[in-house]
Amino acid sequence: MYTPGMAAARPAAARNTQATAAVVLGALGLFTSFAVVGGLFGAAGLVTGAVSLRVSRRVGTGRGRALVGLLLSLAAIAVSVLAAAFIAWYANHTQECYRPDSLHQYVSCVRRDLSRH
């Protein structure tokens, strides 16, 4: 029922929830990328961000969030790859130290092995 003082109801603005999801996935990926699993979140964010860019052309909103999601996702993937490379390098250079009798022995073995390289 319409009364003279009521404002006319406006249609709901179009939303781009994929863009928000891309930002969340990208940020989550970046925060967890040091544990290498962030690359998986980053890959999901990359796909979601690409989809949200297409949606933003049609809907007219969410382009900025989609781009931020894409950039965060790319950063998450890059940091995860670097973390995995560092872990592999570290494991390769300290592999003879993995059977220590004590933590002190492990630390001194790692220091010795890493000082040689």
The model's pLDDT over 22-46, given as tens digits with 9 standing for 90+, comes to 999 999 999 999 888 889 999 999 9
> Which pLDDT belongs to residue 82?
94
Mean pLDDT value across residues 3-7: 57
User: What would the pLDDT profile of 65-116 be if each residue is shown by its tens digit?
Assistant: 999 999 999 999 999 999 999 999 888 888 777 776 778 888 888 888 788 7
For residue 64, give the amino acid letter.
G
| pTM (predicted TM-score) | 0.76
Confidence (pLDDT) at 116: 76
Q: Which of 82, 81, 56, 83 is nearest to 67 (CA)?
A: 56
Angle in degrees, CA 67, 75, 50, rounded to 5: 35
pLDDT at 112: 83
For 21-60, b/e burial (b = at least 16 CB within 10 A) is bbbbbbbbbbebbeebebbbbbbbbbebbbbbbebbeebe
Rounded Cα–Cα distance for residues 68 and 23 (Å): 6
Q: Residue 3: its pLDDT value, please?
A: 59
- For residue 77, CA distances in Å to 42, 87, 94 come to 5, 15, 26
